[in-house]
Amino acid sequence: MDVSREIIDDAIDFRRELHRNPELSTMEHETSRRIREQLDKLGIPYEDGFAGTGILGIIEGKHPGRTVGLRADIDALPIDEMSGESFSSQNPGVMHACGHDAHTSMLIATARVLLGRIDEIHGTVLLIFQPAEELSPEGGSKRMMDDGIFDDFTPDVLIGQHVWPGLEVGKFGVMSGPIMGNSDKFFLKIKGSGGHASMPHDTVDAIVVANQVVSALQTIVSRNADPMEPAVVTVGRFEGGTKHNVIAETVELEGTIRTQSDRMKQLAKERFFEVVEKVTDAMDAKVEIQFDDGYPATVNTKKWADRLYDTVYTLYGEEALPRVNPSLAGEDFSRFLQKYPGVYYWLGSSVGEGQKPLHNPAFRFNEDAVHYGVSVMSQAAIDTLNTLIENE
C-alpha cells in the first residue's frame, strides 16, 4: 500500500523527537503531551488519563460497523544509551531501547492514513497509547482497563505491533497461538552464618549455598520440563559478601522464569519453591522468597492472526512472511488479549550487521521499517473491520 512520503518523513521526525526525550514507566507525562498535540493537529478526539498517562484516540469511519483497537506502548527503559545516533537520548539513564518511540510515531502516522481513507472505514478505530509496558509485573494494560478505557468503545479485535531486530526490514512475524511467553520473576535472600574465612566449619557460607541453589534451579529445565515445551530459568543478579577474608552472611539473587504454556509455568513455579527451600534447608541456611507472577503469555487468536497474515500477503507477498518461532520475552499486550480477541505481530527492523538486541544500550531501529509498519497496520484495521461486517 502506498503511504505518502510526507507521512513517513513526519513519522520519522516524531520518532526522533520521542527518542531524544524518553520517559520511564508511569512518568510519560511529556510523551503523553506530545501525543495529544499530534491528535489535536489531526482533529482526532481522544480521552486521556488512563493508567495516568495513557490515551485513547477515536476515529469514526464513514460507515457504521464494529470496533478495532490499535495499540502502541509509549514508555522507555532505565538504560544509558550507547547507540551513537545523532538523536540519542537527552535524559541520562533513560533510553528507548525497545522501539516504543517507533510504535508511537507509527500509530500516529497510521491515524493519518486512516483519516485519508475514512470512506473505506466501516466502524470505529481506537488508537491506544499505553504507558508502563516495561513495568512488569504491574504493567499498564490492566490499569487502563480498570480505569475504563473500553467502557464507551468496546473493541471487537485488538492489534499490536512490535519492532523486531531479528527480522529484516520488509519481513513480518505473524503466527497464531502463543507468540510471547509467561514472564515471572523472583527474589531470594539466602541467610547463612558469617565468620572468618579461615574457619568455615564455624559458619554457614551463604555464597556456597547460593551457588548450589543456582545450579539446582537449572535442573527445572534440564530434568523437569518436557523438552518440547519451551522454558528458561535465569539468575540475573547474584550479590553477596563484603571482604576477601569474611564468609558471607547473606546473598541476594534475582532472576526470571520464562515459559510458554500455563501448564509449564505452574510446574516450573512449584519446582522453584521446592528446589530453593530444600537446598537451603539441607545446607542449614534460611531463605526469604519473593515470587512475582508477571505478564501471561501473549496468545494470538487464530482467526485474527490469519486475517493479518492475509493482509501482509496481499501487500507484500509470501516472501514477507518467513516462518518464525515464538519468543519467551514478556509483553503486557497479553492482558488485553486475555479480555479481547486479537493479534500481536513483529515488524522487521534490523539495521543489518552490528544489530544489537532489544533492551541493549546500543540498540538501533531501522527507520526504513516505518513505511511497512504504517501500511500494514492501517490496512489491517480496514481489513479487520470488513471481516467483522462479513461475519455478522
Alpha helices, H only, 93-169: 100-116, 141-146
Sign of CA dihedral 55, 83, 162, 103: positive
Are 58 and 45 in contact by the 8 Å Cβ rule? The answer is yes
Q: Helix 262-282 vs helix 206-217: angle between axes, to the nearest 10 degrees? A: 150
Active site residue 60: no
Of the residues 295, 344, 345, 372, only one is catalytic, namely 295
Are 106 and 159 in contact by the 8 Å Cβ rule? The answer is no
Q: Residue 48, Cβ neighbours under 10 Å: how many?
A: 16
Are 187 and 290 in contact by the 8 Å Cβ rule? The answer is yes
Whole-number Cα distances in Å, 345 to 30, 35, 163, 271, 357? 28, 23, 9, 32, 17
Strand, helix or coil for residue 191: strand
Provide the strand spans (E) within 15-62.
Answer: 46-50, 54-60
DSSP state of 366: -
Which of 153, 150, 70, 75 is CA-nearest to residue 111? Answer: 70
Q: How many residues are there in the chain?
A: 392
Active site residue 249: no
Of the residues 28, 249, 367, 372, only one is catalytic, namely 367
CA 246 – CA 194 distance, rounded (Å): 7
Return the active site residues.
Answer: 295, 367
